[in-house]
Structure 1
Amino acid sequence: MNVIPDGPEAGNNDDYLTSRRQAWFAFALTFALMMFDFIDRQVIVSLFPHIKSEWHLSDKQLGSLVSIISIVVGAGGLPVALVADRMGRVKSIVVMAIAWSLATISCMFTANFSQLFAARAMVGVGETGYGSVGAALISTLFPKRLRSAVLGAFFAAPSLGSVLGVVLGGMIAARWGWKAAFGVVGVPGLVLALLYLLVRDYKTVALTPASKQVTQSLGGTLKHIFGTLARTRTLLWLCAGAAAELITVSAIWSWLPSYLNRFHGMAPEAAGKAAAAVVLVGAFSCTFWGIVVGRLAVRTPRNKLPALSVLCVVTSAIFVVAFGGTYTGDTQFKLIILGAFFMNCTVGVVAGVAMDVIHPGVRSTGAAVLSLFQNVFGLAVGPFLAGVLSDQWGLQHALTFIPLCSVLAAVFFVIAMRSYDADAARISDVKLDVAPALTGTLSTGAAV
């Protein structure tokens, strides 16, 4: 990809689209918002024992309070990404962050399961499209050689946010009641949203030189966009593999505090802290595997995919032994920690591979397709399926079965490898340009 920077500040920038400082500023704020996205999403996990006791809910109902956000995010991601690709990524992110933060705060005022379920759905409405739009923005601002590492670090934010959400939820609930947790974690997103107005965007690019003729109508635009994505076979198999692996990840993240509470006799606050340690290992490993896999495949980029397959198989084997074997106590917890080191391996690398093969003109939309699969068929399925299986078989048997989905993910990644080279070559000559700063545009408009 040939990158042509815009403006003198971007000169000698070693293939950064804008200046290196601006690119890292954008990364820092995008990372921070992604972290609070998942703090707001996962804070409820450590509150499960309190909610179950107060409202007498089933495990299926508890799991649905996590899954509903992923369903809404997945279902709404495509429309939001379509708007972001045409209207601007920075403006879209600011609106989304404000919306999900206000929705999180509203959860503290709910009085029953139905109201909390509706409020959680509204959190999902706000978060819709954030991951895909944010990934499209920062992956384009940075050089291609850094893409896997940068996105690996970016997608460590969900793990870190989940850690903080679980820990904060348990601590706040123990002192001020479980509803107060929503109010405390919802405010920072509002502050970050305002700071995000300082981030630089990239200019929207045409899909083809003749795109104006092809996309004069809304129907023509949609047909052209989804036709472009449908021809990217690597993306389709990548979506399937990413979703299958996230079934394992989301089930472990959502139900480990309850597992430790029920089977190890830990108090909810202590169980939350122990589970947070597991998720924190996942946050580190996401960045670690993004760097390692990226470097191993620097000469042959398609080899990222078989590397992911191996890591997924290892993930499945460790968790099946941890929950299905005879190990208990510290030994079992160490195995769970080891599994956590492998299970989050796909997130950053998958996003990097997707950016390698998606046309920049529909990068947010393509990332939203990936997000759709990850959320609806991955993150939403894991907590709910584990809850259903727990009601039928018990939580331990449920957590033994779920990791087998990682083996399915490994198969899909191997299939995706076969079309990678052709899909990446198709977009290798696309040129990009940096957009004017949004704050400058707003100031000009106000002056007019």
Structure 2
Amino acid sequence: MTRRYAWLVFALSFGLLLSDYMSRQVLNAVFPLLKAEWLLSDTQLGALSGIVALMVGVLTFPLSLLADRWGRVRSLVLAAVVWSLATLGCAVSASYGEMFLGRFMVGVGEAAYGSVGIAVVLSVFPVGLRATLSGAFIAGGAFGSVLGVSIGGVVAQHLGWRWTFGIMGLFGLVLAAVYGVVVTERRLAPAGYGNGPAPGTGGPVRALLPRLFSSVSVLCAYVGSGLQMFIAMALLAWMPSFLDRYYGLPPSKAGLAAGGFALITGIGMIGGGIVSDRLGRSNPHLKWTVAIVCSFGSLVLLTGGFQLPPGTPQLLLVGAGTLLSNATAGPAAAMVASLTPAAVAATAMATLTLANSLLGLAPGPAVTGMLADRMGLDDALRLVPLVAVVAGLAFALGRRHYDKSLISASAPALEKTEISA
């Protein structure tokens, strides 16, 4: 495994993640158009966004477990083909029901990509880069959202909302074809898939599954990451509508402006991972501290920002809060990787993705939409940051039990070594 090929694997995996989130978030750019054409409520719009995350949450674990056994690269290519074809299906949908079915299948295709993709990336790089690479890879979701919302808004303005889905679907199919040719199971085999048995070679995967939930700290990492994702996804989904309703921006400009906020989210993810890795070299507990600071920082900034009237001060505070809202992603993924077996790396990341989906991606947009129907979108967004209170407390509890959890995680390996000796 050469360094050049490792970075090529990262680049192509990152590219497919961009396609994943472009296909997922392009819907948000056309919310106003769908609402007007099909006379939809905010709850129905939130459901179109939330069904993708719900399917990701339900299917990510079994599909990632299958990928650990069947082959991660083959699974990634198949997933990309499914979500791309489903996105093309959204382009030709004639009713809300058909659109909902198309979004359902987008969720099926995207279910395991994030967890399996990050497992492939982490398997070809040194352990000391886990938080940085995790943050950078997960940030692809934010960058994909930027491209999806921004490009989607412009295309919808000039060509209609159907073309937005068509372009995203075709882009995903092209990337899937390139990935399938360049990245192969055989080329990745020397990396050992994270020092565990390579997919498709059997191994005691089933026996290792209980260790995905065997410590307080790893459970806290799942919960804290998922709740922070609730805030980030609510902002990503509803920022175009917020700017349209309260700042009077047309869909194209609202999409571009909202894309800027999504870009800020991605920068925060990368920054959180870099800071976490650097501070964690001398004291691993500081990775938890980074997550705690980001959680409570996002609470203060976002709560203060949405209390202000529309204007530049509000946008600055909301932007600062957005920067911290999902900066916990890298530290959380690094903690999960350090507390779970490498042989089930994709399944461990699937468990994290499951938590992110069930606690954040699925309920974030949907709950915000239901609140908006009852009290207005501005009041709904004032309540969303309060979720960070629970997230910050979860990270604090995980930090407190980290030493004990590390000992628990390493105990089975130590016992096996003693028996072999």
Q: TM-score, normalised by structure 2?
A: 0.91
1:388 aligns with 2:370: yes
| Alpha-carbon separation, structure 2, partners of 1:128 and 1:174 | 30
How does 1:59-138 map onto structure 2 within 5 Å? 59-138=42-121
The residue that corresponds to 2:286 in the other structure is 303
What is the CA distance between 1:120 and its match in structure 2? 0.2
What is the CA distance between 1:101 and its match in structure 2? 0.8
| Alpha-carbon separation, structure 2, partners of 1:40 and 1:181 | 9
The residue that corresponds to 1:360 in the other structure is 342
1:336 aligns with 2:318: yes
Structure 2 alignment gaps of length 5 or more: 414-421
The residue that corresponds to 1:403 in the other structure is 385
What is the CA distance between 1:420 and its match in structure 2? 2.7
Give CA deviations for 1:181-228 in whole Å, capped at 9, x if unaligned.
000111121122122232243446369xxx96xx6xxxxx64x23322
Mean Cα deviation higher: 413-422 or 137-146: 413-422
Give CA deviations for 1:160-193 in whole Å, capped at 9, x if unaligned.
0000000111111111111110001111211221
The residue that corresponds to 1:379 in the other structure is 361
Mean Cα deviation higher: 397-406 or 183-192: 183-192
**Is the Cα contact below 8 Å between 2:232 and 2:265 reproduced in 1?**
no
1:183 aligns with 2:166: yes
> Partner letter of residue 97 of structure 2?
S
1:421 aligns with 2:403: yes
**Is the Cα contact below 8 Å between 1:90 and 1:201 reproduced in 2?**
no
Give CA deviations for 1:103-156 in whole Å, capped at 9, x if unaligned.
111101101111101100100000011101111111121101111111111111
Q: Is the partner of 2:103 in helix, strand or coil? A: helix
| Alpha-carbon separation, structure 2, partners of 1:160 and 1:225 | 34
**Is the Cα contact below 8 Å between 1:235 and 1:370 reproduced in 2?**
no
The residue that corresponds to 1:350 in the other structure is 332
Give CA deviations for 1:27-59 in whole Å, capped at 9, x if unaligned.
101111111100000001010000000000000
Instruction: Give me the CA root mean square deviation.
Output: 1.9
The residue that corresponds to 2:222 in the other structure is 239
**Is the Cα contact below 8 Å between 1:251 and 1:386 reproduced in 2?**
yes
| Alpha-carbon separation, structure 2, partners of 1:35 and 1:127 | 12
The residue that corresponds to 1:170 in the other structure is 153
The residue that corresponds to 2:9 in the other structure is 26
Kindly indicate which of the two structures has a greater share of residues assigned to helix. 2
Q: Is the partner of 1:57 in helix, strand or coil? A: coil
**Is the Cα contact below 8 Å between 1:290 and 1:345 reproduced in 2?**
yes
Give CA deviations for 1:244-271 in whole Å, capped at 9, x if unaligned.
1111111111111101111111111111
Q: Is the partner of 1:179 in helix, strand or coil? A: helix
| Alpha-carbon separation, structure 2, partners of 1:106 and 1:348 | 33
| Alpha-carbon separation, structure 1, partners of 2:188 and 2:81 | 19
Distance 1:137 1:266, change over 3 A: same
> Partner letter of residue 370 of structure 2?
V
Q: Is the partner of 2:249 in helix, strand or coil? A: coil
| Alpha-carbon separation, structure 1, partners of 2:338 and 2:5 | 22
Structure 1 alignment gaps of length 5 or more: 1-17, 216-220, 431-448
**Is the Cα contact below 8 Å between 2:135 and 2:273 reproduced in 1?**
yes
**Is the Cα contact below 8 Å between 1:76 and 1:128 reproduced in 2?**
yes
**Is the Cα contact below 8 Å between 2:246 and 2:310 reproduced in 1?**
no
**Is the Cα contact below 8 Å between 1:232 and 1:358 reproduced in 2?**
no
1:201 aligns with 2:188: yes
Give CA deviations for 1:339-389 in whole Å, capped at 9, x if unaligned.
121112011221122111110111111111111110121111110010010
Count matched residues: 402
**Is the Cα contact below 8 Å between 2:269 and 2:329 reproduced in 1?**
yes
Distance 1:424 1:196, change over 3 A: farther
The residue that corresponds to 1:44 in the other structure is 27
**Is the Cα contact below 8 Å between 1:241 and 1:408 reproduced in 2?**
yes
| Alpha-carbon separation, structure 1, partners of 2:78 and 2:410 | 30
What is the CA distance between 1:428 and its match in structure 2? 9.5
The residue that corresponds to 2:254 in the other structure is 271
> Partner letter of residue 120 of structure 2?
L
1:249 aligns with 2:232: yes
Distance 1:140 1:427, change over 3 A: farther
| Alpha-carbon separation, structure 2, partners of 1:231 and 1:277 | 39
Give CA deviations for 1:64-111 in whole Å, capped at 9, x if unaligned.
111100000110011111111112211111111111111111101101
Percent identical residues: 37
| Alpha-carbon separation, structure 2, partners of 1:63 and 1:85 | 33
> Partner letter of residue 399 of structure 1?
L
Mean Cα deviation higher: 56-65 or 191-200: 191-200
| Alpha-carbon separation, structure 2, partners of 1:428 and 1:171 | 55
> Partner letter of residue 393 of structure 1?
M
| Alpha-carbon separation, structure 2, partners of 1:41 and 1:236 | 27
| Alpha-carbon separation, structure 2, partners of 1:234 and 1:87 | 30
The residue that corresponds to 2:272 in the other structure is 289
| Alpha-carbon separation, structure 1, partners of 2:216 and 2:179 | 34
The residue that corresponds to 2:416 in the other structure is none
**Is the Cα contact below 8 Å between 1:93 and 1:133 reproduced in 2?**
yes
Q: TM-score, normalised by structure 1?
A: 0.86
